[in-house]
Amino acid sequence: MKEIKVGKKHIVERISESKDSAINYASGGVDVYSTPAMVGLMECAAKECLDEFLEEGYSTVGISLNIKHLAATPIGMKVRAEAEIVAVEGKKIVFKVEAFDEVEKIGEGTHERFIVDMNKFLNKVNSKLKKEE
């Protein structure tokens, strides 16, 4: 695995769609870009920031998120999330995350991801199904 560097940044952009609305997520009663959609975009930026460092068979999973949704965004407006690596603690990577629409900052916070061996991870997850039998 390549050395993961503090300061590395990654940006993802999307056009907000009706599937991203607070009404669609049932997280609110207003037809605006939802907090869950913003969180997903922030996680996507962080995940993609790490992808180039990982060997085949490895990925990352989100383990912590502490964000504020600062402003509403109308459906149809472009949104972007920016993730910056601020700490590397072994297999745990800490990010500063921010989200913007075309007018202003709409969210900010921190996000942690953990590097996992996909085979081991999926075996552990799937073992839960065997416990139900």
Catalytic site residues? 35, 43, 69
Six-digit token string for 63 = 């383990």
The two three-digit tokens of residue 26, written as one number: 């049932």
Q: How far apart are CA 103 and CA 77, in angstroms?
A: 9
Helix (H) or strand (E) holding 113: strand 105-117
Please indicate if the annotation marks 113 as binding a ligand.
yes
Task: Look up residue 28 and give its two tokens.
Answer: 């609110």
Q: What share of the chain is helix, strand, coil (3-state, %, to 5)?
A: 30, 45, 25
Q: Is 41 helix (H, G, I), strand (E, B) or coil?
A: helix
In this structure, which amino acid lies at residue 70? L
- Provide the annotated binding site for CoA: 62
